[in-house]
Structure formats: structure tokens, C-alpha cells
Structure 1
Amino acid sequence: MSMRPRNRDVCADCSAPGPTWASVNRGVLICDECCSIHRGLGRHSSQVRHLTHTSWPQSQLQMVQTLYNNGANSIWEHSLLDPSSVMTGKRKANPQDKVHPNKTDFIKAKYQMLAFVHRMPCREDDSVTAKDLSKQLHSSVRTGNLETCLRLLSLGAQANFFHPEKGNTPLHVAAKAGQLSQAELLAVYGADPGAPDANGLSPIDYARQAGHHDLADRLVEIQFELTDRLAFYLCGRKPDHKNGQHFIIPQIADRNDGLDLSELAKAAKKKLQSLSNHQFEELAMDVYDEVDRRETDAVWLATQNHSTLVTETTVVPFLPVNPEYSSTRNQGRQKLARFNAHEFATLVIDILTDAKRRQQGTSCENAKENVELILKGIDNRHGSESQDVDQPDYDSVASDEDTEREPASGKEERTKSSESSDLSDGPITVQEFMEVKSALNASEVKIQQLLKVNCHLSEELRTMQNKVLKCRSKSNIVDVQKHFACSY
């Protein structure tokens, strides 16, 4: 579903007319110029989607439109609405401001630093404040007041908060009440549709028991959103969850070129399968973010028509830094942009294959835990060596590398496609994935050097042994001479 902006709609950041983009997690509509800045903030700050050139779930689009119409932007600009803010020099950006630095500084302050959000009174124990906010959220989601819930989330309420007295989460409450838009908002902020309540029931179960079958179906889609997005990126269709099809495993056209039979590829797949739940979750989330970056980048460039916005300062060549991640993980995430179309498609297929293996593995002791970890909501969604119980559905995917843009600089020698799933069992698997070939080559060189050293040491050892034998012979001769000298 797509939505055309109405004539009265204006950009939430600079008031330019006719915004064509939306920030899903902020509940606002934005113009092209402001969108170019939002894209550089990263998905952890702003999740942007085009209103007409992107396929939207109808209920998610309705949620954003409702928030925008009900003044969600005032949450992010609360202090700017105070007349005294004019006296302090604080002001909202306007359409005539330059993108850099004026609009950029304003948008970063607004969404990254939350400089204009209304602050709660400080307490000595911040966890108490977060718990109180989360309890308020737990009560509020049974109503249709979306902006109240967004305000609570902006202040630190947790979407996955487990109420100790009620024995469930806010998403359970929204599902039972049939509040589809509230469920969409909670999901954007990481609520897990598969989270169990005190009796082991999920929000999906709550929705079905209450007769909200459309909401239950949507929650199933949210539960599988990560793998669905990866599959859609490659083959343009999603699984039919209503009929029990939860995975589509596409196939690259030239996948049977013989490269996958290499020992290195087999070792890489084994490493991927041996990743812990947490490591696999991180990798899947990073690949999802890279898919979102590539798709959004393609839509953004296609809608600019070679306008002045298409400059080096508005291009997002790799995933922006997420301050919540380690520097090593951020470096690994950025290296995903170096993958060409074929390499990246192979990595995505390997992720989908192993996600299905983990979800369907029946011999794993932690099968339930695997399902919950792999199929969580996007922001916190996403284990034994069990085998797939059935064959995947295959779609053919073009492997033409021209379908993806590669950075103009920094191109490196490409590894074989079969190596694109070579992941280490360390916590930062993407970086090791990119460096595995050079690491193996370096290891081979070291092995050869050690072999040479070993041969040299063996020769020295033989020489020393010969010298020892000679010394012993001389010693025996001296002893004999002494013996004869004493006899005479």
C-alpha cells in the first residue's frame, strides 16, 4: 500500500510542503532534503520509508498517518513550542535553511540528542522511572491514543516490559484489546509477538482467542519480518504464512558453478551453523539493516531525478555508526557495503537457510529459544546442528552485479561467492567474514615458514647429535689412555 501526501501536509522538520517520506518510528512526514539527513542518522534513530515508492503494510502506514495527524511531532519539539524558546535563540528549521549545517544540526539535535523532548523530573534511581513509564505504557495500549504511547516510549518506556503483577507485556494487552495500530507502534520499538506471558501464551494467541484474527495474522507477519524482508529483497515475494509457509529460500542462478564444493565453503557454512543464538541474531540484524540501506538508497536516488540533492554529502555509502554497538561491530557492519550483488545475495541466502534450520530443528534442546531469538521483532528480533526437515521453496535470483551500485572507491579483490558465508564464531562475525580469505592465506604462509624452520632445526639437531657422538668417542679414547697410563 502507498499513500500520496495531502496538500496540507508539511515536513515535520522544516515545514516544506508536500513531504514524500515518513519516519516510521518517529511518526512524522518529512521532505526530500530532510530525508537525506535522516538516512545518515541510521535506523536506530530514524526508520525512513517513501510514501508512494515503497510497499507498506496498510496498518503500519495507517499508524504513521494517525500519529502525524494527531501532532506526534510536538513530542520531538516540545520545548520549541514554549514562547520562551524564542528568547533563548532556539527555533525550528525552515525550508530556506541550508541542508548543511542548518537543517542537519537541527535534525540531529531533535532526534539523536532528543534536545527538545519534555523531560521527566530526575530521580536518583532511573530504573524506577523507566519501570513507572513502562507500567503506564502497559495500561495505555488498550486505548487508541497512539501519541500518548509514543510519548511514553520517547521517555524510556520499554516495549517488551513484562508486568510483574499482570504477567504479560504491553503487546499482549494491545492484542487482546484489538488495537492494531498500537501493536504496530510497539513492534516498531521492538516488541516481540512471540513473547510468552506467565501462562506461556503469546500476543498472537491473545489476538486469536479474542477473535481479532486480522491482528493475529499481522503479528505473525511481524514475527517473521526479518526473514520475509530478506527473501523479498532477493525474489520479490514473501511466504504465505496463513498456509503455513514461513520461509522462502531463493537460489542464485549460477549457484551450481562448482565453487560451493570447495572445502573453504564447507568450513564457512559449518562456522555459520555453529554460531551461538546471540551471534546469529547480531549477524541477521546487521544484514537486515544493510538490505534496508540498499533498498532505501535505490528508492531515494530514483525519486531525485538527478536533482541537486544527489551529492556526496547526501549519499549513504555504508551503514551509519550505531553508538550502542562496539566499534568493531560497527566496522564490520560498514564492510557489508563492499559486497557486490552476487556476494551479498549469497550471504542473505545462507542467513535464510540457517534461520530456517534453527527454527525447524526438533532435536535441539533449546528449540523454543531458537524460534524466539530468530523471529523477534526487527529491533530486537532475530541452535544445535539439526537438519532441515523439508526442502525449501526456491526462486531464481539474478546474479548480475550491475543490479547493485558499488562504492566508487575502496574496491578490493572479490572473494569467491561461496566464501560469503565464511563466518567466525567470534562475536563480530561480519568483519571476519570479509577477512577470512586473507587470514587463511596468511596462515598458509606461516605454516610454510614453520615447516622450513622445522627442517632447519632438524638439520641442526642431527649436526648436534653427530658432535655429541664425536665428543663421546674422544672421551672414551681419553679414558682408555688414562687407564693405560695408570697401568704403567
Structure 2
Amino acid sequence: MSKRLRSSEVCADCSGPDPSWASVNRGTFICDECCSVHRSLGRHISQVRHLKHTPWPPTLLQMVETLYNNGANSIWEHSLLDPASIMSGRRKANPQDKVHPNKAEFIRAKYQMLAFVHRLPCRDDDSVTAKDLSKQLHSSVRTGNLETCLRLLSLGAQANFFHPEKGNTPLHVASKAGQILQAELLAVYGADPGTQDSSGKTPVDYARQGGHHELAERLVEIQYELTDRLAFYLCGRKPDHKNGQHFIIPQMADSLDLSELAKAAKKKLQSLSNHLFEELAMDVYDEVDRRETDAVWLATQNHSTLVTETTVVPFLPVNPEYSSTRNQGRQKLARFNAHEFATLVIDILSDAKRRQQGSPLSSSKDNVELILKTVSNQHSVESQDNDQPDYDSVASDEDTDLEATASKANRQKSLDSDLSDGPVTVQEFMEVKNALVASEAKIQQLMKVNNNLSDELRIMQKKTSRLEKQNSTPESDYDNTPNDTDPDDMGSSRKGRQRSMVWQGDGSVPDTAEAHTAPSPVLPSTEDVIRKTEQITKNIQELLRAAQENKHDSYIPCSERIHVAVTEMAALFPKKPKSDMVRTSLRLLTSSAYRLQSECKKTLPGDSNPPTDIQLVTQQVIQCAYDIAKAAKQLVTITTKENNN
């Protein structure tokens, strides 16, 4: 932070003391409880950052502080300042109000419905009004009056408005005047630093001409914000834009042989139009933001009563400006585990660089491949029959699922990674920064998941104890994810349809089905599944405690106990379950257990190449444990529903 918050500062939404989060695009500071609601609204409504535990460009934080200190909150609460509002019973939330429904309803009305902003007089032609507002914005950005510009933007002024008479945009004007905070505000609302004016100059050009070097450098950073954020998410480094390096493309630390399927999928990604590729990249950027914010959120809540199911944001909230299929595709990004998501991010970085530099499609240095596979929910077929790659920026039509599987190129031991101006070694890639992928935060998250799972298991046991045991069930496939209402179940369903993966060093993961065995609709009793799941979660908790206490020598025995428990649980099910949902859940369960053992073995002393990064190993171990817990929970859910039919 550029400065410490004054103790007198209060939450913009409920007036609670010591707000620790900011809503960047609203110019406000908010408390933890109100932030939990902001996060559920989506970045198109509120872009939240923690004031201490999130990296901030100094001028961006200064912009938010300036807005807050100059009364930006009154823009969003304009009509509430009218005494008549109090008489009519309309009031803002207070610290004593419950988060749900009181604070949540007020915050949604304030920011999503814009219920309290100043309304302009009705005009016959809305476009004229927007044009007038944009012209006012164009004039205002040459001054330091940020709140005036935010008010105009809140009323509908366009940050990228091209003035027909002046031949430029508001960002050109702000850059020429050296107004760096205005430039930050315009960029938050979508202004493009690469836009050319009528004479072919960009805002960066005007900033440099005027001697505003800090502003010029910041505008370049803003121009590459998407790819910079994705690279920083993976390796904690940013390109050196001052010296002309605009991309960092990390290598994966392990590799898989490229299949023809992967190569075909890569070509399909590369053949996307620039527009569709940009949409996909923006969606992945939003998912990176969601994952990073989740990590900070979990690390800062101290597991108080605030961390409840109502504060979980399991996937990207719906943006009504996008199509339903694009929203579905955005939400399915949350299904990707850490390894798969890293693969997707690297593929996007690689192709973004290729597109900007105009490189040909063929490349001898493809670091990573991505398969986006569509699986029809309405057909219960073997996963190997569904391996059709599908690159798209949105989900497929109807109920198809957008999923990704990692497929990594051969590791280049010469450090010849695909970079712009400077190599990133495998070791550097493995130096994953604490702030973004904090092991402690992930441990705590998984602890919470396991505690919730244990509670659910006890509830299910009580229910099933009153039911008569059934040895067979009607033939029925669970084609769709269990539609449970609580967000944590939605989280488990996201993991449910991930297929098994072949990991380096593991060999092939044994399939739970055998080709010569006929499909069987018979499932084990719910009580048996619950009993084995409890055993798995107990062993996972031991592993997590070892991770918390840095007892790395306990990883291997813990992983072996988990593997035994997983094997025993898988043995309860038929060799070839008829339900496709059961098959995929079992594959995730067993493949994650094999992967866990492989990761834990990396803690053994000896010659390792590259040297073992214990922090990265711990993160991978936690991710594997998380996938195991989720798969086990889904199997409990499926068998409970089947046996109760």
C-alpha cells in the first residue's frame, strides 16, 4: 500500500470499522462481510482487492484512495442522502445487520441495480445522452477531479469514446495532461492504451511527448495487463517492458508426449478468430482473479464464523452481458485443477504472443498443449469414445461440458523456453509465489472442505440408518452433475467430471473398468461408502496437519494410507459401473491417489533434477488431496441418491 488506512475510515456499505478490502471500480473501501457479497456479484459489478495482501500498482491504489476520500460513495448512495429517503424507510445497511439477507440485498440494490444513483431527466434519444456524457468525460479528464469522472462513468459515459471533432479518446486527453490517476480510472472502465487518435498516436505516445514517463510506463503495463497477470499467477514474475520484453511464457515442470489429438486441438485453438480468442483470454483472466481472491480470502479470515457456505464463490458469477453458453463456459473453468488450469494459462500466453508478433501457426517450440473436450451429458458412453477436442471461447451448445486435460511438450533441458527476450528456467517456474498460491490458504480451505464433508457424512448416516438396505437399484445413469443447493456441493460437482490423467512417473492409472465385464447398475450400500469416505478424510486430515507443521517426512506414509483407503473404497464398486458419473468419479479418485503418491515421493532425499521445491510439492500434494476428497464426496452423493430411489 502507498499509505496506511486511517482508523477513521469505515466500510462504504455498512459503516463498519477498519475496512480491509477495496472495490476498485466503485472507488470504495469495504469490510469482510460486505466483500463476501461483492465477490458473489462478479467482476463486471465489483472488482475487489485486499488492501494489504493483494499486490497493488501504487497509482491504482492511490486512485481508489482518492475517490474514497473525496466522497465517491455518495455517487452510489445519492438518493439515500435525501431526508425523504429516511422518511420512506429506505436506509443503508449498518454493521449489526445480518449479511444475508440485509447487507446482501442493500449491496445488490446499490451496485447491481444502481437503485440510489442520481437519475438524469428522461430523454427521447438515449444515445444522445450517452454521447453528451462522454463528451463531458472527455473534457473532465484533463483535471484531477476523479469523482466527477466516476460520476459521469456511473451515468453511462464511455471510457473509450472517440470524440468526432477532437479526433481522440479521453485517455489521450488524460495522458497528454499527465493525469495518471484519471488514466487509471479510465483503464478500470475499459479504456484501451493502444487506441490511436486521428493522427495515429496512442496515449503512450502523448505521455512520452509530455515527459510523463511514469504514466507512459504504467500505460504500457495496462496494455499488457492480461498477459502480465496470467504470467505472474504462474511464476510470480512480470516482463521487463522497459527493455522491450513483453511476454513471459513459463514452462511446465513435467511433460507428456504429444498425441495427434493434442496437436489437432492446438491447431483449433490457434485457428480461433482474434475476437473469440480475446473472449477466452478475458474469461481465463477473470478465473485467475477469482482463484487469487479466494486464496487471499481464505488466508485472511482466520476461519471465523464468517467463513460459511454463504461466502463461498465456487465459480464465476453470471454476467448478463454475455451469452448463456459463454457464461456456462466461464463457470466450467472452475473445474480445472491446478495443473490443468496452469496448462490452459500457458497455452493462452503462447498464442497471445504469437498473435501479436504475427508468427506463423507452426512452431517448433510449443511448450504446452491443451485439449478442450466436449462430453455430451445426454449420452452415457465410455470416456474414451468422447475424446473429441473442442476449442471454443464458450461452452458447447446445450449441455456439453468444456473440460481441459493437460498435455505437455517434452521438457527442454537447455532452458530454451518460449520467451520474448530472456529465458525462464524450470527452477524459476517452480518458484511459485506465496501470495498467490499460498499453501497455508489451500490447507485451510481443504480442512474446511473435510470438516463440511464429515458433517454431511454424519447427516447421511442418520438418514441411511432409517432406510432398508438395498442390493440393487433401478438402471439409471447420472448424466448430470448432482444439483445440490449449497455452494460447496456445487464445488464438488465441478470436480466430478474430470477424467483421469496420466502423470509423469506414474505410468498409466489403472482404470476401474475392465473391457470384458458387462456394465453393472448395482452400487454398494451408502453406509459402506460413507465408512470408507470417513477413513479417507481422516487420513487426509493427518496429511494436512503434516503439511501445516512442515513434517515433510510424513508425506509418504500418509499418502500410502490414503492410497489404501482409496483402493478399498474403489473395491466396493462394480468392476464396470453402468453410471458414467460413477465411472468418472472413481477415475478421479484413483488417479488423484496415484498422483498424490508420486508427488510425495519427491520429498525423498537423493539426486533430483531439477532440485525439489518443497513448497511446490506441498501445493501439489494439497491439490491432490483436495481432488480425492471431492471425488469421495461425490461418490457418497451419487450412491445416496441411487439407493434412496
Scaled by the length of structure 1, the TM-score of the pair is 0.77
What secondary structure sits across from 2:231 in the alignment? helix
Q: Aligned with 2:26: secondary structure?
A: coil
Question: Which letter does structure 1 place at the counterpart of 2:423?
Answer: D
Whichever residue aligns with residue 209 of structure 1, its letter is Q
Shift of 1:416: 4.6
In structure 2, the partner of 1:305 is 302
Task: Indicate the SS of the match to 1:193.
Answer: coil
Any conservation in 1 of the 2:232–2:238 contact (CA below 8 Å)? yes
1:408 pairs, out of 492, 514, 535, with 492
Alpha-carbon distance between aligned partners in 2 of 1:41 and 1:3, rounded to the nearest angstrom: 28
Gaps of 5+ in 1: 365-387, 419-437, 439-488
Q: Distance in 1 between matches of 2:159 and 2:438?
A: 41
Asked if the contact 1:21–1:32 (Cα under 8 Å) also holds between the matched residues in 2, the reply is: yes
Are 1:36 and 2:36 matched, yes or no?
Answer: yes
The residue number in structure 2 matching 1:325 is: 322
Unaligned runs of 5+ in 2: 362-417, 447-490, 504-579, 581-645
Aligned to 2:82: 82
The CA deviation string for residues 347-389 of structure 1, in whole angstroms up to 9 with x for no partner, is 000000000000111679xxxxxxxxxxxxxxxxxxxxxxx89
2:113 aligned partner: 113
CA contact (8 A) 2:301 2:307 kept: yes
Q: Could you say which structure has the greater relative contact order, defined with CA pairs below 8 angstroms and 6 or more residues apart?
A: 1
Match of 2:49 in 1: 49
Partner of 2:290: 293
1:202 match: 202
Match of 1:131 in 2: 131
- Please say if residues 354 and 360 of structure 2, whose CA atoms lie closer than 8 Å, have aligned partners that are also in contact: no
Amino acid aligned to 1:394:
V
* Matching of residues 9-20 of structure 1 within 5 Å: 9-20=9-20
DSSP-derived class of the 1:44 partner: coil
The letter for the 2-side match of 1:413 is Q
Give the deviation of 1:89 after TM superposition.
1.0
Is the contact between residue 3 and residue 52 of structure 1 (CA under 8 Å) also seen in structure 2?
Answer: no
Per the TM alignment, residue 16 of structure 1 is displaced from its structure 2 partner at its CA by 0.2
Q: Deviations over 1:296-326 (max 9, x none)?
A: 0100110000011111110000000001011
* Number of the residue aligned with 2:70: 70
The structural deviation recorded for 1:330 is 0.5
Question: Any idea what SS the aligned residue of 1:408 has?
Answer: helix
Q: Which moved more, 1:151-160 or 1:263-272?
A: 263-272
Distance 2:103 2:502 in 1: 42
**3-state SS, counterpart of residue 89 of structure 1:** coil
**4+ runs of 1 displaced by more than 4 Å?**
388-392, 398-406, 415-418
- Residue 6 of structure 1: CA displacement? 1.4
Q: How far apart, in 1, do the equivalents of 2:420 and 2:146 lie?
A: 42
TM-score normalised according to structure 2 size: 0.59
Contact 1:2 1:53 in 2 (8 A): no
- Asked if 2 retains the 8 angstrom alpha-carbon contact of 1:346 and 1:417, the reply is no
CA drift of 1:5 comes to: 2.2
1:230 corresponds to: 230
Contact persistence 1:24–1:48 (CA under 8 A) = yes
Deviations 1:231-273 (CA, angstroms, capped at 9, x unpaired): 000000100100111000011100x232xx1111101110111
Cα 1:390–1:159 shift into 2, 3 Å:
closer
Alpha carbons 1:176, 1:207 under 8 Å: kept: yes
Conservation of the 8 A alpha-carbon contact between 2:28 and 2:73 = yes
State whether residues 175 and 207 of structure 2, in contact with CA within 8 Å, keep that contact through their aligned partners in structure 1.
yes
8 Å CA contact 2:137–2:152 kept in 1: the answer is yes
1:462 aligned partner: none
Q: Deviations over 1:164-217 (max 9, x none)?
A: 000000000000000000000000000000000001100000111111111000
Percent identity between matched residues is 80
Q: Contact 2:234–2:342 at 8 Å: present in 1 too? A: yes
3-state SS in 2 of match to 1:251: coil
Counterpart residue type for residue 6 of structure 1: R
Q: Is the 8 A contact 1:342 1:399 kept in 2?
A: no
CA RMSD between the two structures: 2.1
Partners of 1:175 and 1:203 lie apart in 2 by 6
Q: 1:277 to 1:392 in 2, by over 3 A?
A: farther
Are the aligned partners of 2:21 and 2:30 in contact in 1 as well (CA < 8 Å)? yes
Report the CA distance between 1:402 and its aligned residue. 10
Query: What amino acid sits opposite 2:497 in the alignment?
Result: E
Q: Is the Cα–Cα contact under 8 Å of residues 20 and 50 in structure 2 kept in the other structure?
A: yes
* 2:4 is the counterpart of 1:4: yes
- In 2, Cα distance between the equivalents of 1:99 and 1:316? 15
8 Å CA contact 2:193–2:223 kept in 1: the answer is: yes
Counterpart-to-counterpart distance in 1, 2:57 and 2:154: 23
Q: Say if 1:350 and 1:389 are closer, same or farther in 2 by CA, change over 3 A.
A: closer
